[in-house]
Structure formats: structure tokens, C-alpha cells
Structure 1
Amino acid sequence: MKVFLLGGTKDSINIIQHLKNNYDCHILTTTTTEYGAKLAREGGSDETIARPLPKDEIKEIIINDNYDLLIDATHPFASHITQTSASLSKELDSPYIRFERPTTNLENIDTHNIHYADSFDEAGKLIAENYPNGNVLHFAGANTMEEILKHIPVERFYPRILKVESSIQKCESLNVDPNHIIPMTGAASLEENMELIEKYDASVMITKESGEVGGVIEKIEAANKKNVAIVMIQRPKIEELNKNDIVSNLEELDIKLKNFF
């Protein structure tokens, strides 16, 4: 079985390890960064491509190299690539799986500090209106900073980003003070989030609804302990995606694979 895996997430590494341990398969993993590709190789991926791929190139590789299955395990907010992969699978009439981590279970969590927004532009407006003077911790990636900074002063903005060249360059292009940049990898612990709130005297934290894997619960708990607000951006809705193509854990993935093969 040849698997074309759209990766770059912790979920994708788990999928690679699961497939290599349980199936006779060859895996090509694509990521947008060399760091992501390195993690994929360490996880067991046979091949990696470390750059964004347009739809036509993905299609060409799948056809020319005879890939049997396309798995999209990209971030819940990577809506463009999920739209692309879902539509491509229909064009090719080929097996397709969207691995989408579950949303955060907030049943037993105090949510009184959470404000919800449907976009980063809306989040920026919300912060400008409700927290006009407070410092802002941005835990939602480098590519979303510009929408926020349309509405709040860069002097109050503290982004937590991957320490990769593209993210640093993005900060520079937006005139973010180098002393405000927080370079980290992976989800922060409760204690780390609390330390960042204290260190930067934050009034607001921005996060995506990226599931428990993305450390959402630790952010909420830190905000509650320090009594700061969280602005949480809801996941985008993707019309091209068929709910029957979605799995949320490795057990569901196995069931899908048995149906296909």
C-alpha cells in the first residue's frame, strides 16, 4: 500500500508510526517546513517533501507514482489544503481519509474567560473593543498575525511561534519587536502558559480551537488561574469535505483501511 500523507502535525506522526507498525506500506509525507519533514522522517516516513504543494503537483505525484491512498492529517485550520485534498480525491475517484482531531471537550472546564470568534479579523476587533490597553499573547501561529495586527498595536503583541526562518521573517515584515517573539516548539504546559502570562503581563491570549492535542485545555486553565481572557477562534467549516471521509482516531482509521483494502 502506497500512502500519500499530508502532514505537519503531531497527528500525522502518530499515523506514520501506526501504519509502519501495522501495515506493509510506503509513506510519502508532505509538510510546509523542513522541521515538520524531519519529524516525519524520524517517525518512519519513507519519503518527505518539505514545501507547500499545489493541487496539480499533488495530483501528478499520486497518478505517476501510483499512490493507493490520500490521507489528510493537516491542522484543523489548514482549510485550504483540506479543501484541495477533498476535491482532488473526488476528481481521481480514489480512496481518501481526513484525519481530524476531536474538538476540545469543555464539559468539565470553566469557560467564563473564553470569547469565541469565527475569524482572526473578528478576534482582532473583539480585542480592540474589549481590551484596548492590555498585552496580547498570540498562540495561533505566524500566518495569522497580520489579521490581528490590523486592529491592535504591535507594541502590545507577543507571538509564540516556531523558531523557523519563515516565521521569523513574518514577524520582521510586521515590525514585531524581536524581544516580543516567543520561540517554542510543541504545545506548552499549564505551568509554561502561566509563566508566559506573568512574564509579558498579558491581558488576553489568542488560540485556535485546535483540540486537546494542541494544548487548548492547558491554555484555558492557565487563563483561569491568572484571570486573563482567551479569544478562541472556531474551526473553519469545509463544504467540500464529506463527513463520511472523516476519522478522529487510529481505531477509526483502521476501520476505513479495511473498507478500502
Structure 2
Amino acid sequence: MGIGCRRGAKKELLEAGLWKVLEANGAGIKDVAAFASIDLKRDEAGILELVDKYGIPFYTYSAEELQAVKEVSSRSKFVRQTVGVDNVCERAARLACPRGRLIQPKLCTEGAAFALVKKCLRILIFAGTTEGRLVSEKLAGLPVDIWVSTATEYGKECILSGASPEAIHVTAGRMDEQAIESFIREQDIHLVVDATHPYACEVTKNISAACTACGTAYLRCLREQGGIGGKARERMVWKKSVGEAVEYLKATEGNIFLSTGSKELRRYTEIPDYRERCYARVLSTKEAVEASVALGFQGAHLIAMQGPFSKEMNTLMLRETKAKYFVTKESGKAGGFLEKAEAANATGAVLVVIGRPEETGMSVDGTVEYIKGLL
């Protein structure tokens, strides 16, 4: 609770203002961890009487320290001329609770001004998938500060399309382990949620290592499985890696429809006559298209579109390309794995599936409930 007041303000008036602010925010005196003000008020009788009555710590800061706080909701020339800083209560509350969020901007009462800052969880979400977007949307509005990291500008746009820009901070650009560690320390992150793609093993490794180095809590958010089992799964060709899938496809004949992304397309160039046999579906980004073209996938053999795709769209593409093999990752429900399997079954194509790496973690809802339990 940040407090600013006129010299000689009575304890009764300060207390009335205090309760007005608390009630307006659905809080009680037991929720107040500290009072804070400028050092000129360290001997202010009215404030000291409040401190004594409720047994709450009282911190004071110099005008120079208060001025270092950049964000305030309002500024007063009169207050600045009087004490050397234009907003005492908000700045003092922020200094006393650096890991907090301002929930009550400066509120003036008779002879005083108050502000409330609530300590909140600072969360960094690595969102390379639908799961990262869903977690950030479900957490928005809670007493948490959310940073979301995406590898590309396209990913950033996807996150911002589903949540208010004011609710989260989104940054785009790939980070290695050292960069992740620096970000965690600079932003004083309390919890990291790894909601990257199920196959982004190196990224997950870097995130986990950075959290260990910083002593920061780490939580893996997993993509929901595709819901295909029994004989349907048995009819598919399962491989542990793209390399294994390539070796399998080398011994086959007929066209191949690839939907495993642009990053690993180079491996498919090992297939004899890949320029004629293979059709690659990649994201509709400049980087993905340019990388694919550089490898020899172009013209009718390169399809740049944003998924996930319906059964009908997958079926159409398989038929148009006369594909006998449909290569995909086990992309789960969010990645349209069921629709891919249904399309392969409808066209008679063999579904070649790159299995997921084994890992443990929580679902989207489980992740959100876990975080709520920390608040």
C-alpha cells in the first residue's frame, strides 16, 4: 500500500482512506504486506499510528529512488514541487513490491493519496504451438504477468490474434540456452511454461537447462494425442524419426505427400527422384517457402498453406498429387492428426507417421489449473 499525505494528516482521515481503497479492491487489512512512502514521511505521526495499530511494516524511499520508477498513472506538479517527485504513492508501492502489478492507481482521499500493488506471478510461455496460445489466453485476466516467446513473427501474430495485447507481452525470435537464461533473469521470471512443438526437442532441452541454471520452476505443457487407436494405428507405418521414414520411402514407388514442415525437408532429398515424387506442404511464410525452393521443391511440388487442415482438404490434396504415401508427425488433435489419418484411409494412401519423443508433462487445462493453484 503506497501512501502520500499532507503534513500533519490525522490518523483517522488516513485510516478512512485506507479502508476505502481496500474495500474498493475487495481486500482487507490482512492482505496488506507493507505500507510505503517517501522518506520525508518516515516520521509522519498519522502514518506511524496506522503502522503501530495494524503491525504492518513501513518502508520509505528517497525522491531519487522513487523517480527511478518509470510507470505511473498520473503526475502532479504540486507534489513534485513539494517533495521532489510527482507521484509518491504509486512509485513507493511499486518499489516495495517489485514483482507486483498496480491494481489501484493513485486514489485521492481527504488529505491523502493511496495506491495498491499486488504481488503476482511472472510467467514466461514458450509458445510454438496452439497450446501456448491457449494457455496464455486462459491466464489473461488473472493476477499474473505473462511473457510469450515465439520463434517467428508469424507465431507472434497468432498469439496476438487470440488475446488482448495489453494482457501479455509477446516477443518473437529464436533464443538459445544463454539467451533464455538472460531473459529469465532480466524479467525476474518465476515460472517457465514450455508449450513448444512436441518435436522441438532441442528447444525443450535449452529451455529446461536455462531454468535449471536460474533456479526457475519449469513446466512442460503437452499436446493432446490424436485419439486414434486400435486397428487404425496398426495400419499406419510408424517411424521414430524423419531419417527412418526416408529410409523406408527409398524402397517404395509412387508419389509422396510430405507434411512434416520445412525444417527437415533436406532429409527427403535423399530419396531418388524426390523432385518428381515428393510434394511438400509447408507454412505460408517467406522463410519456409524460400528454404523449400532452395532444396528443389517448387511449382506444383510446393504447397504453402496454414493448417490445420480438414479431412476434405487433406483428401483433395492427396488425390491431386496422386500420393501413395502421406508423411506426417503425430501432431495430435490440435495439429489435425485425425483428419490426416481419415484422408489417408479415404484415398488409400499409406500414412507414414513420425512418432513423438517420449516425455512427461501436463495438458493445457492441467497447466492452467496448476498455475491457478499458485496464486
TM-score calculated relative to the size of structure 2? 0.64
Aligned counterpart, 1:182: 303
Q: Residue 27 in 1 paired to residue 27 in 2?
A: no
Please report how far the alpha carbon of residue 170 of structure 1 lies from its aligned counterpart in structure 2 after TM superposition: 1.0
Please report how far the alpha carbon of residue 155 of structure 1 lies from its aligned counterpart in structure 2 after TM superposition: 1.7
Q: Residue 78 in 1 paired to residue 176 in 2?
A: no
Asked if structure 1 preserves the Cα contact closer than 8 Å seen for 2:138 and 2:368, the reply is no
Q: 1:98 aligns with which of 192, 198, 220?
A: 220
Q: Residue 154 in 1 paired to residue 275 in 2?
A: yes
Aligned counterpart, 1:200: 321
Name the SS of the counterpart of 2:140 in structure 1: helix
Aligned counterpart, 1:169: 290
* Gaps in structure 2 of 5+ consecutive residues: 1-120
For residues 92-131 of structure 1, the aligned pairs below 5 Å read 92-107=214-229, 110-129=232-251, 131=252
Asked if structure 2 preserves the Cα contact closer than 8 Å seen for 1:113 and 1:228, the reply is no
Please report how far the alpha carbon of residue 109 of structure 1 lies from its aligned counterpart in structure 2 after TM superposition: 6.2
Aligned-residue CA RMSD in angstroms?
Answer: 1.7
Q: Residue 256 in 1 paired to residue 370 in 2?
A: yes
Aligned counterpart, 2:177: 55
Name the SS of the counterpart of 2:192 in structure 1: strand
Query: What percent of counterpart residues are identical?
Result: 25
Deviations 1:125-178 (A, max 9, x none): 11111x22x111111100111112212422211111111111011112101123
Aligned counterpart, 1:8: 128
Please report how far the alpha carbon of residue 220 of structure 1 lies from its aligned counterpart in structure 2 after TM superposition: 0.7
Which whole-Å CA distance do the structure 2 matches of 1:201 and 1:113 have between them? 20
Which whole-Å CA distance do the structure 1 matches of 2:369 and 2:309 have between them? 32
Please report how far the alpha carbon of residue 61 of structure 1 lies from its aligned counterpart in structure 2 after TM superposition: 1.2
Name the SS of the counterpart of 2:351 in structure 1: strand
* Higher RCO by CA contacts (8 Å cutoff, separation 6 or greater): 1
Runs of 4+ in 1 over 6 A off after TM superposition: none
Which whole-Å CA distance do the structure 1 matches of 2:303 and 2:187 have between them? 41
Which whole-Å CA distance do the structure 1 matches of 2:170 and 2:196 have between them? 14
Please report how far the alpha carbon of residue 26 of structure 1 lies from its aligned counterpart in structure 2 after TM superposition: 2.1
Aligned counterpart, 1:42: 161
Which whole-Å CA distance do the structure 2 matches of 1:89 and 1:158 have between them? 40
Deviations 1:69-123 (A, max 9, x none): 1111110001111111122222222121110113322236623541011111110
Aligned counterpart, 1:219: 340
Deviations 1:172-208 (A, max 9, x none): 2101123211111121100001100111111100000
Name the SS of the counterpart of 2:160 in structure 1: helix
Which whole-Å CA distance do the structure 2 matches of 1:87 and 1:50 have between them? 20
Which whole-Å CA distance do the structure 2 matches of 1:259 and 1:93 have between them? 20
Name the SS of the counterpart of 1:107 in structure 2: coil
Asked if structure 1 preserves the Cα contact closer than 8 Å seen for 2:289 and 2:304, the reply is no
Asked if structure 2 preserves the Cα contact closer than 8 Å seen for 1:72 and 1:98, the reply is yes
Please report how far the alpha carbon of residue 256 of structure 1 lies from its aligned counterpart in structure 2 after TM superposition: 2.4
Which whole-Å CA distance do the structure 1 matches of 2:226 and 2:300 have between them? 32
Distance 1:28 1:109, change over 3 A: farther
